[in-house]
Amino acid sequence: MSKRYRFFIVLLIMVICFVFLLPSLRWYFMIPKEDQTLALGSREQIKLYSSEKAQVDLQEIITAARAGEDMPERFEFLVPRAKKNLKAAKQAVPPQWTARALLSAFPDREEAQETIESYYRDRIFKLKDIQKNAVQLGLDLSGGMSIILQANLDALQEKLGRPLNTTDREDAVNRALEVLNSRIDRFGLTEPVIRRQGQDQIYVEIPGAADPERINSIIMGKGSLAFHIVDQEATVTFDNYYRTHPTTTFDGSGNLLDPSIVPSDVVIRGVYEKDNYGLDEFKRYIAIKKEVGLDGNHIQEALVRRDTMTGKPEVTFMLDAEGGTIFYNLTSVNVEKPMAIVLDDRVKGNPATIRQAIRDQVLLSGFSADEANNIALTLRTAALPVELEVVNQQAIGASVGEDTIQQGLRALVGGLLVVLVFMLAFYRTAGINAVVAQILNIYLMFSILSAFNFTLTLPSIAGFILTIGMAVDANVIIFERMKEEMRLGKGRKAVVDAGFDKAFWAIMDSNITTFIAALFLSQLGSGPIQGFAVSLAIGVFSSVFTALFVSRLIFDFGTDVMGSKKVTVSWITQQHLSGAAGGTK
């Protein structure tokens, strides 16, 4: 491969690595702490913050308009929407935006408040996206709680009444993962790390301060999903009553103060739809039959597809044999009646109308794409498909994590500096080459860590520190080989070529064996061992690339571009070695 191609390859890799590393740089070094706190909050907290900020900002604009002041610069984000409103109303756009002109473009104050709120909401969600793509800190660095859950597959086997096959086990654990992911943020917790561990375990990390009892109640809660027939007449009766008695219909627990409003076999439930924050938003009340038409545990699979004729989204789910029979009997006697999906006493989305008797495969239509996806997720993740038991639970304070970060960074930087000083002192000019390679090695390691969204832990930092020492071995082998060639009186280009060629397999053999060991550790180990192994494997890969590819390119640059005729390795130059060789002869 020509030197020009190698240069462009290195340059391309550096650019790609920068793109991967940019979210981490932005998150940890460019975003203020207060904005990080907002982004790490739950969706409930983000909604409350955005709503309060919108109210305060709108009041500020109103006050400025009454005083005849100019529009504050920080409200520039409202101008595009204001121009759009004026054009729709066929009004002229003012040459200069004052607070009064801006306010006049929003005759509907609710629209103005929603526009401001969406600005804050979108801004925080963008920060969340940056955080998700940045290098994640483990619990030993950020503090929080870790929980290992064990899936009770024996209980599931007893429940199904048959031996579990591989597919059953995989599906049960994967669905349990979906359930946990769908629950956490709804209860106001910071977004966790939830991943599968081994064949039948789930590992949960929740950063920050947390209440163990509350978290356990969330994780271990079963959830209840059921299908109920909607009583349309009772719904109309209740709506009429509630319209005239909005404050005296329910007690503090949400029960009807006057149960005679609806028939005894009917209950009132709220209809909820996802809002712009992905949270359940109350829409209205409906009356449903108390009797459960179908329990959600009979659902085997649910997915979203599009109607081949209309292209509109539809929700399809499959039932087991017992569920198919129950559902067929239910739908046979309730054709043309609406049926509600109820999760934890909440009706999810608008009830669907039963068009015909249905047995195994159920088709729900009449939803938007977002509603269809939400309903499909609800059907898949309503109740845990397998019982989960807490195997291990640990908590660590955030203050300890901050101290650990400082100690780990000091160790990493200190180790790097000591190695670089040694290389410069012992190998002089060639040591500069090694220093550049080491800096690029660290750059590559953190870029790969960020690209694959790995979690940085204290053992990971230890793996990186170990890699720094190992990476220098490759440079030492190359430099010593170059010394041997210099003693033979060869020129710079021949010395460099022979040094790298003869050192290649020695470097590759040692690093391949280390990589294999790291690979086995990452697969067989867990927790700290796995973090150490992953960082070691990344370090081996990047150090080989910088030592054999980047370092060689730097030497070739000195030969071909800078026109260097000699090589300085250690405290003796090429001429010294050549003279010593000649004297020996």
Question: What's the pLDDT tens digit per position in 330-353?
Answer: 888 888 888 888 876 788 777 878
At a CB cut-off of 8 Å and minimum separation 6, what does 426 contact? 570
Angle between helices 528-545 and 492-524 (to 10 degrees): 160
Residues linked to residue 196 through DSSP beta bridges, in sequence order: 202
User: Torsion angle of alpha carbons 504, 509, 511, 514, nearest 10°?
Assistant: 180
Other C-beta atoms closer than 10 Å to the C-beta of 249 total 19
Looking at residue 491, its amino acid is G
Task: Report how far residue 404's alpha carbon sits from residue 459's, in angstroms, rounded to the nearest whole number.
Answer: 11
Is 90 exceeded by the pLDDT of residue 307? no
**Structure confidence at residue 210 (pLDDT):** 52
Cα dist from 329 to 121, 224, 230, 300, 316, whole Å: 46, 21, 16, 19, 19
Which residues fall within 8 angstroms of residue 325, CB to CB, at 6 or more apart? 359
pLDDT for res 177: 78
H helix runs in 72-133, sequence order: 79-88, 99-104, 109-133
Tell me, what DSSP letter sits at residue 252? T
Phi, psi of 140 (to 5 degrees): -70, -15
Q: Which two tokens stand for residue 315?
A: 């929700």
Q: Residue 93: pLDDT above 80? A: yes
User: Looking at residues 472-484, what average pLDDT do you find?
Assistant: 83
Contact assessment for residue 540 and residue 467, using Cβ atoms and an 8 Å cutoff: yes
Residue 80: predicted pLDDT: 92
pLDDT band for 75, please (50, 70, 90 cuts): very high
Taking residues 571-576, report their average pLDDT. 52
Which band of pLDDT confidence, cut at 50, 70 and 90, is reported for residue 481?
confident
Cβ count within 10 A of residue 552: 22
| Whether the predicted pLDDT of 260 surpasses 70 | yes
pLDDT at 52 over 90: yes
Q: Which residue has the higher pLDDT, 207 or 227?
A: 227
3-state secondary structure at position 269: strand
Distance CA 269, CA 287 (A): 6
Between CA 320 and CA 395 the distance in angstroms is: 41
Q: Is the pLDDT of residue 167 over 70?
A: yes
Separation between Cα atoms, residue 141 and residue 18, nearest integer Å: 24
pLDDT reading at 225 higher than 50: yes
Q: Is the pLDDT of residue 273 over 50?
A: yes
Least confident stretch, 182-196, 435-449, 535-549: 182-196
pLDDT band at 83 (very low <50, low <70, confident <90, very high): very high
Structure-model confidence comparison of residues 224 and 64, the more confident one:
64
pLDDT for res 581:
46
The half-sphere exposure of 340 on its side-chain side, counting CA atoms within 13 A, is 30
pLDDT in tens, 550-562: 888 888 877 776 7
Q: Among residues of the chain, what percentage have pLDDT more than 90?
A: 14
pLDDT band at 585 (very low <50, low <70, confident <90, very high): very low
Most confident of 299-313, 394-408, 488-502: 488-502
pTM of the model as a whole: 0.67
Place 59 in a pLDDT band, splitting at 50, 70 and 90. Answer: very high
Angle at CA of residue 241, ends 237 and 245, nearest 5°: 165
Strands (E), 183-279: 193-197, 201-207, 225-229, 266-274
If pLDDT is split at 50, 70 and 90, which confidence band does 314 have?
A: confident
Cα angle: 23, vertex 26, 31; to 5 degrees: 135
Residue 137 token pair: 């800190």
| Lowest-confidence region among 96-105, 245-254, 419-428 | 419-428
Distance, in Å, from the CA atom of 344 to the CA atom of 187, rounded to the nearest integer, reads 13
Beta strands in 307-462 (DSSP E): 313-319, 338-343, 346-348, 352-353, 361-364, 388-396, 455-456
Question: Mean pLDDT score of the chain, rounded to an integer?
Answer: 79
- 46: confidence class by pLDDT, cuts 50, 70, 90: confident
Mean pLDDT of 21-41: 88
For residue 117, give the nearest of 62, 36, 52, 71 by alpha carbon.
Answer: 52
- Over range 568-585, report the average pLDDT: 51
- 525 pLDDT band, cuts 50/70/90, is low
The pLDDT score that the predictor gives to residue 570 is 65
Q: Using CA atoms, how far apart are residues 531 and 527, in angstroms rounded to an integer?
A: 6
Instruction: Read off the pLDDT of each residue in 277-297 and give the average, rounded to a whole number.
Output: 84
**Smallest Cα–Cα separation from 190: which of 143, 135, 223?**
143
Rounded mean pLDDT, 74-87: 92
Position 188 pLDDT exceeds 80: no
